[in-house]
Structure 1
Amino acid sequence: MRIRTVAPVAAFVAIAALALTGCVDNSTPSSGGSASSSSDVKKDDSLASQLPEKIKSAGTLTVGMDDTYPPNEFKDDNGNPVGWEVELTNAIAAKLGLKVKFAIAKFDNIIPSVAGGKDDIGMSSFTDTTEREQQVDFVNYYTAGIMWASAKGKTVDPDNACGLKVAVQSTTYEDTDEVPAKSKACTDAGKPAVEVLRYDNQDDATNAVILGKADALSADSPVTLYAISKSEGKLQEAGKAFEVAPYGIPVAKDSKLTPVIQKTIQALIDDGTYGKILDKWGVSDGAVKTVDVNAASKG
């Protein structure tokens, strides 16, 4: 997972179509029903009063994001960030009476930016792990699994992938942990390794499968299902979702902001805003009822 269960994911906003012939086309928008926008969320003065003074006085929440991971966070036709995590971020800020500044960056630069104080929080489908908790704290707001996809008509078993080429987005959990572990199991058994094909963004990893450069892709389950839905029948599920784990919003270690974000998301769950956002994007199977902090270290 994006170190990023899951119902069929519908596309609601366009991202730019890729130029290669036969590639996945994410350019067709869909209306998809209604959900509460950030303008519908009322400020909670009690929560806002608990913000660190620096953020309170600035009136802005700076959020590190890699907007290349549809349907969680991606670009619309105008290059603006969209997706269900973008909507959730906007709702968090609205509840706290803040404006949002999305600091778009490469995925692996976000946690260092949060830890160093450049960004207030990150929102980019981070899987909460004990290793990452050494750098930042995580406010847990969702759970997701891993899912593979292969070209239509090509049978691929994620548990028997020795010798295959598997496309991943660089620095995701699939890249750093999941696929390498499968490869090691292969070589330990005297079988060919799994070849990991790393790409800077998820669209390129997806298109590697469509173009025949890779046998399969591995990504978070909402992302894989979205890619399949936008592939015009060129991709299919390769097995079911597995290794379900919590997503977390990274916040600087021991920051006074952490409990504020935790309470704010809990308030959005309790008032129904959170559920409406997830329902709109078709990802409600990963919903949580209670917001935790550093769930990975709690087992």
Structure 2
Amino acid sequence: MPRLLLLIFCCFLAACGKKDNSLRVGMELTYPPFEMKDAQGNPDGVGVKMAEALAADLGRPLKIVPMEFSGLIPALKSGNVDIVISSMTATDERRESVEFSEPYAFTGLSILLGKDSTVRSIEDLKKDGIRVAMKAGTTGESWAAANLPKAKITAFTEEPACVMEVAQGRADAFIYDQLSIYRYHKENLDTTRALLNAFVQENWAVALPKGDTETKAKVDAFIAKFRAEGGFSKLADQYLGEEKKAMEELGVPFIIR
């Protein structure tokens, strides 16, 4: 092969093998107002805006990869996404297989109950015959499995199904994060009530591949800068103004700050 043609061929192979520099962010787009779709079907929400700001900070194009929550960590471990931003709680169990950034949100588990439920605290859910609806793959489901041995636990892939179980009396409780419980109660005032004081404190963080300390350092630096510049506060006002005010009135520290 002539030298010039060989050079062109080698350049062609190099171009074909060049890795896309996009920041592939895995998220479940069914968790408003954090990760969702707008009226036109485009990704939107607090997590999406955070991902956009992070990608810009890293100087990389953003590519959001939507999937069910239970598939996020497997996708990260297999290399199908670079990071996960999906209101994911940083737990010790998850840390066994992924890295986590510094927290960007602070929350806890609370309880949605039927309007006429006699449950007054988490201790009441430890009695015989309690039926609990849970979202599959969440820390709430893990906590219930470990701490409610007498309860009948039914897992669903989406939160609205859990809410419907409680609202229609097929489940006694739905355990999930404070903000979601508040929102679902507001949407179902006639059939539910909420215990908003968290019985387990949690925080959300960006998930990264195990051992990727370089990207973790960059993400941590971004979170610190974004917080210092008021980025999280602006997103709270944009997407969660009513909830922020309500939590402040209840004396509950707001989730993003």
* TM-score normalised by L of structure 2: 0.79
Consecutive unaligned residues in structure 1, runs of 5 or more: 1-56, 185-192, 289-299
Question: Among residues 111, 117, 120, which one is paired with 1:154 in the alignment?
Answer: 117
Matched, 1:266 2:232: no
Q: Which has the higher helix share?
A: 2
Cα 1:205/1:263, change in 2 over 3 Å = same
CA contact (8 A) 2:181 2:196 kept: no
Q: Which residue of 2 aligns with 1:167?
A: 133
Does the 8 A contact of 1:142 with 1:248 survive in 2?
A: yes
Distance in 2 (alpha carbons) for counterparts of 1:230 and 1:87: 25
1:179 and 2:141 correspond: no
* 1:141 pairs with one of 104, 107, 115: 104
Cα distance in 2 between the residues matched to 1:201 and 1:145: 19
User: RMSD of aligned C-alpha atoms?
Assistant: 2.1
The residue number in structure 1 matching 2:176 is 219
Distance 1:75 1:152, change over 3 A: farther
Identify which of 200, 224, 236 aligns with 2:157: 200
Distance 2:178 2:172 in 1: 18
Distance (Å, rounded) in 2 between the aligned partners of 1:208 and 1:80: 29
* Superposed counterparts of 1:101-120, under 5 Å: 101-120=63-82
Secondary structure class of the residue paired with 2:161: helix
| Match for residue 197 of structure 2 among 230, 234, 240 | 240
Higher relative contact order (CA 8 A, sep 6+): 1
Q: Is the counterpart of residue 285 in structure 1 residue 254 in structure 2?
A: yes
In structure 1, what is the equivalent of residue 10 of structure 2? none
Structure-2 change in CA distance of 1:153 and 1:109 (3 Å): same
Partner secondary structure for residue 285 of structure 1:
coil
Q: CA deviation at 1:241?
A: 1.5
Q: Report the CA distance between 1:273 and its aligned residue.
A: 1.3
Instruction: Measure, in 2, the Cα distance between the counterparts of 1:138 and 1:279.
Output: 26
Q: Is the 8 A contact 2:122 2:199 kept in 1?
A: no
Instruction: Identify the match of residue 85 of structure 1 among 47, 56, 79.
Output: 47
Structure having the higher Rg: 2
Contiguous gaps of at least 5 residues in structure 2: 1-18, 245-252
TM-score when normalising by structure 1: 0.69
> Between Structure 1 and Structure 2, how many residues are aligned?
224
* % identical equivalent positions: 26
State how far apart, in whole Å, the 2-side matches of 1:239 and 1:245 are.
14
Q: Which residue of 2 aligns with 1:254?
A: 211
